[in-house]
Structure 1
Amino acid sequence: MALAFAASSSSSAPTAFSGSSFPFSSSSSELKAPQIGSLRLLDRDRTHALSRAVNFSQRRCSVKPVNAEPKRNDSIVPLAATIAAAEVVEKVEVEDYERLAKELEDASPLEIIDKALEKFGNDIGIAFSGAEDVALIEYAHLTGRPYRVFSLDTGRLNPETYQLFDQVEKHYGIRIEYMFPDAVEVQALVRNKGLFSFYEDGHQECCRVRKVRPLRRALKGLRAWITGQRKDQSPGTRSEIPIVQVDPVFEGMDGGIGSLVKWNPVANVQGQDIWNFLRTMNVPVNSLHSKGYVSIGCEPCTRPVLPGQHEREGRWWWEDAKAKECGLHKGNIKEENTAQLNGIENGAAHSSGTATVPDIFNSQNLVNLSRNGIENLARLEKRKEPWIVVLYAPWCPFCQAMEASYVELAEKLAGTGVKVGKFRADGEHKEYAQRELQLGSFPTIIFFPKGSSRPIKYPSEKRDVESLTAFVNALR
């Protein structure tokens, strides 16, 4: 760890966070972490770090703020800071990031965020959830560089979280760029399944509507994003988080695989060190932390943890503790890692021919085609309806990444005469799919026209609903 803290000798200093003892009281109208120590950088080259620190204040004076509320348009987060000072943005090739992650393995979060902001300028955003992610904003502020902050407002956050949003904006003099779920989608979900369906059939559907799809729209306007993921947050899903990576799930503004870079500057930081930093810098924190909440999400899905419990025990507590991800970091969930990597690179299936992960693309508007079904469809020379079919493997992260947009496509095409289907093409069906259905890698999308026997392969790596709709409309 590249951070060390020297405790203050003041007798009034509060006790450190541990177990069930939470270091904050809720008596203040604006809760802040009390000053209990000083921050000290322990970089390999201390002289370089100190000289850089001297320049921070000088740089801060000369940089125009980019966090003013922008003029809104149909794009979501993309142009959040239109008054930014010019930034030289260096584009790093995809294959460089594994090496860069190794180089930054022992770097401090301050160094990592400084590097990220330097490389991507106004095309990178900090994802702020209203919990410890305030540390990311503080680090960005300390660099003296322009930065952007966005947050997902699901409509079901705690009042204390909204209060923190306001405090953070005032403390840093910024405007957080809020992303909201689509009102029609939320309305349909609540009307069809009620307000608390996630208690009965899992949180994934609700999170997809309220969090994943809004995040997808936000990231389509960026080239990189900064998250507060830590390895110690969830041993089941986050233990191998790299400092920087090509995002395995979402796409950036350029579209396609590899178009978005994900930075995890506090991946190697322990939770207690984060809290030490927050106390030291005396920044606003969520008042729920003083009430036993550690990891904070939506109000119905978050509760305090008991002494000795892991912080993620308070999230979706009715579900399996080993897979507690809402979908924002779905790429962390790994099953049969080696087989998955083979599948990404070569389209190979699990050695057993079966997957151990749940099926995907589940919707009443999607037809699940069997082997006989897809063979019959392919043989028809004069179809009554056109079909669009995805050839997929449920363990493939790129298939998982397009799930929301493909399900949305099926909903959009319902009643139009275009059938939307899926065919699981791994395992024993892979050879047939490669030979007869133009399968190259997962996912492969093919269109069966109404008046032609030859299927047409979707050529683009852009798998958002708008691009898929344009493809269908051009051929139907």
Structure 2
Amino acid sequence: MALCFTSSYVVHGSSLSPSLDQSKAAQFGSFQPLEKPSLPSTAVSFSRRYSDVKPLNAEPKRNASIVPSAATIIAPAEVVEKVEVEGYEKLAKDLQNASPLEIMDKALEKFGNDIAIAFSGAEDVALIEYAHLTGRPFRVFSLDTGRLNPETYRFFDEVEKHYGIRIEYMFPDAVEVQALVRSKGLFSFYEDGHQECCRVRKVRPLRRALKGLRAWITGQRKDQSPGTRSEIPVVQVDPVFEGMDGGVGSLVKWNPVANVKGDDVWNFIRAMNVPVNSLHSKGYISIGCEPCTRPVLPGQHEREGRWWWEDAKAKECGLHKGNIKEESLNGNANGAVHANGTATHADLFSVHHVVNLSRPGIENLLKLENRKEAWLVVLYAPWCRFCQAMEGSYVELAEKLAGSGVKVGKFRADAEEKAFAQQELQLGSFPTILFFPKHSSRPVKYPSEKRDVDSLMTFVSALR
């Protein structure tokens, strides 16, 4: 995710044309915050009405580095005190049914210049449009990891021109990136996971950016990611990062589109004629760094385009790691668990034509060398959004295969069954689809991530 800050007003007297040396320093993370200037004693009130707010283009542009610009602002008295957790839990309940525009307006009104929109270059451009519609000044920031798609950089430029803003970019520390690449290579994340690279290129720059703020605005939605985002509130005290004052409770996190479906966000973007990243027209939905992002295929959940070589529950880069819970008793990292260890998530593929296989049932299927019928079996977890995304196509396929000589089954392979499925059933990530031929003891793993009915039917037809 690329994060950027844009501002509609700045500290007067700041340099509008920083030197080349300063620009380079900001890019490589070595820029030092300036000393706080002395401001007029009269505090600015951020509760003013729209008619009192100057147009976005009426004031000079902010210096391009968020750290010095945010760190040099002395907060008005209204927002100096650290936030109370209980107060924001109540506010989240009060705003539960509010529109994204109303939530955005409340956030900008409450925090003024000490809040900024985190912009990744994907569909969270809707956040900028909502902020623009409020008529209030706003800022936008982005994390430039140095590994974004060319289309994303062009999109940043288009957004700046469309809204008349300057995105405030944060860059990773050059020494840290150099050490990582020299010791582990350019693509180590394919072998040992993406967390280390994201920590250097994204999380630490974000931490520096947020230390100059009291609140930030994200485009997180509940329907985005399995195991991590299903319970996010519209506003919360940030559980991970610290703000300008430091310590627990010093940063507030706003999620205006938390309760909005992805399709509705896109309907809004189209209706408002908002600029979009050209990668979206090529099948990309969730967009991050180029090596770790790819288009999604039919039947896939949008988040499967990110870090596709890893387990579904790990698809966070660390920017929102406060969403990730410890694994519960049944190995489910998303949702409540009853006292007996049973997950509250509704089961999947629960139709007449899909046989629910138990552990003994799948073990027997493995032992048979001459089966009377071939079997197609999905290894799944009910909490997995990728499994949920393919439910419709798998059920339709089961109906088409009814009476064809191919049985269709399912085996829940999470929790206590996960180790067995990994060792005996080739489970790599959820969902995994296996075909058990009639005259072979070894199942064949479906090699593609196209999970639409036609692709699955082609696979079955080729083997039966």
Establish whether TM, by shorter chain, passes 0.5.
yes
Q: Please give the residue correspondences for 1:171-186 in structure 2 after superposition, counting only pairs within 5 Å.
A: 171-186=162-177
Q: Which residue of 2 aligns with 1:100?
A: 91
Structure 1 residues 67 and 326: alpha-carbon distance in aligned structure 2, compared to 1, 3 A threshold = farther
> How high is the sequence identity, in percent, across the aligned residues?
81
Distance in 2 of aligned mates of 1:237 and 1:77: 32
Which residue does the alignment assign to 1:474? none
- Aligned equivalents of 1:77 and 1:304: distance in 2? 36
Counterpart among 107, 112, 115 of residue 116 in structure 1: 107
Deviation at residue 93 of structure 1 after TM alignment: 2.9
Q: Paired residue for 1:68, among 52, 61, 66? A: 61
In structure 2, the residue corresponding to 1:191 is in which secondary structure? helix
For the residue of structure 1 that corresponds to 2:294, the secondary structure is coil
The aligned counterpart of 1:141 is 132
Provide the C-alpha distance between the structure 1 equivalents of 2:84 and 2:60, rounded to a whole number of angstroms.
28
Q: Paired residue for 2:247, among 223, 246, 256? A: 256
In the TM superposition, 1:307-346 aligns within 5 A as 307-336=298-327
Secondary structure of the 2:142 match is strand
Question: 2:229 and 2:65 mapped to 1: Cα distance?
Answer: 35
The Cα shift of 1:89 comes to 4.5
Q: Secondary structure at the match of 2:70?
A: coil
Relative to structure 1, the CA distance from residue 81 to residue 150 in structure 2 (aligned partners, 3 Å threshold; closer, same or farther) is farther
Residue 323 of structure 1 and its aligned partner are, at CA, apart by 2.1
Summarize the alignment of residues 58-457 of structure 1 with structure 2, pairs less than 5 Å apart.
58=51, 68-70=61-63, 75-76=67-68, 78-79=70-71, 89=79, 92-336=83-327
CA deviations 1:67-119 (Å, max 9, x no partner) are: 8131759x35615889x9x9964855332000000000000000001000011
**Structure 2: gaps spanning 5 or more residues:** 1-48, 330-464
| Superposed CA offset, 1:219-273 (max 9, x none) | 0000000000000001311000011111011000100111100000100000000
Q: Is the 8 A contact 1:67 1:81 kept in 2?
A: no
Which amino acid in the other structure matches residue 180 of structure 2? L
Which secondary structure does the structure 2 equivalent of 1:78 belong to?
helix
Distance 1:176 1:259 in 2: 24
Counterpart AA for 1:215: L
Once the 2 structures are TM-superposed, how far is the Cα of residue 62 of structure 1 from its aligned partner?
5.4
CA shift digits 1:35-88 (9 cap, x unpaired):
xxxxxxxxxxxxxxxxxxxx85x4565566568131759x35615889x9x996
> What corresponds to 2:447 in structure 1?
none
Match of 1:119, as an amino acid? K
| Uncovered stretches (5+) of structure 1, i.e. residues with no partner | 1-54, 339-476
Count residues in correspondence. Answer: 280
Displacement after TM superposition at 1:308 (Å): 1.5
Native 8 Å contact 2:62 2:69 kept in 1 = no
- Give the equivalent residue in structure 2 for 1:34: none
Alignment TM-score, normalising by the size of structure 1: 0.56
Is the alpha carbon distance of 1:265 and 1:72 closer, same or farther for their aligned partners in structure 2, counting shifts above 3 Å? closer
Secondary structure, aligned partner of 1:262: strand
Q: How far apart are the structure 2 equivalents of 1:267 and 1:280?
A: 20
Match in the other structure for 2:44: none
Give SS of 2:141's match: strand
1:412 alignment counterpart? none
Report if the CA contact (8 A) 1:67-1:174 is conserved: no
Q: Distance in 1 between matches of 2:155 and 2:265?
A: 17
CA contact (8 A) 1:126 1:227 kept: yes
Letter in 2 for 1:128: F
- Structure-2 change in CA distance of 1:77 and 1:195 (3 Å): farther
Secondary structure of 1:137's counterpart equals helix
Q: Which amino acid aligns with 1:310?
A: H
Residue 235 of structure 2 contacts residue 255 of structure 2 at CA under 8 Å; is this kept in 1? yes
Q: Secondary structure at the match of 2:117?
A: strand
SS of 1:326's equivalent in the other structure is coil
Deviation at 1:321, TM superposition (A): 1.1
d(CA) in 1 for partners of 2:183 and 2:232?
37
Distance in structure 2 (CA, Å) of the matches to 1:301 and 1:244: 29
* Pair 101,233 (structure 1): closer, same or farther in 2 beyond 3 Å: same
- Structure 1's 258 and 87: CA in aligned 2 closer, same or farther, altered over 3 A? closer
Q: 1: CA distance between counterparts of 2:164 and 2:57?
A: 12
Q: In 1, are the aligned partners of 2:118 and 2:218 still within 8 Å (CA)?
A: yes
CA distance in 2, matches of 1:250, 1:200: 28
Corresponding residue number in structure 1 for 2:427: none
Query: Is the CA contact 1:116–1:263 (under 8 Å) kept in the aligned structure 2?
Result: yes
Distance 2:73 2:247 in 1: 24
Output the aligned Cα RMSD: 2.4
Q: Which residue of 1 aligns with 2:42?
A: none
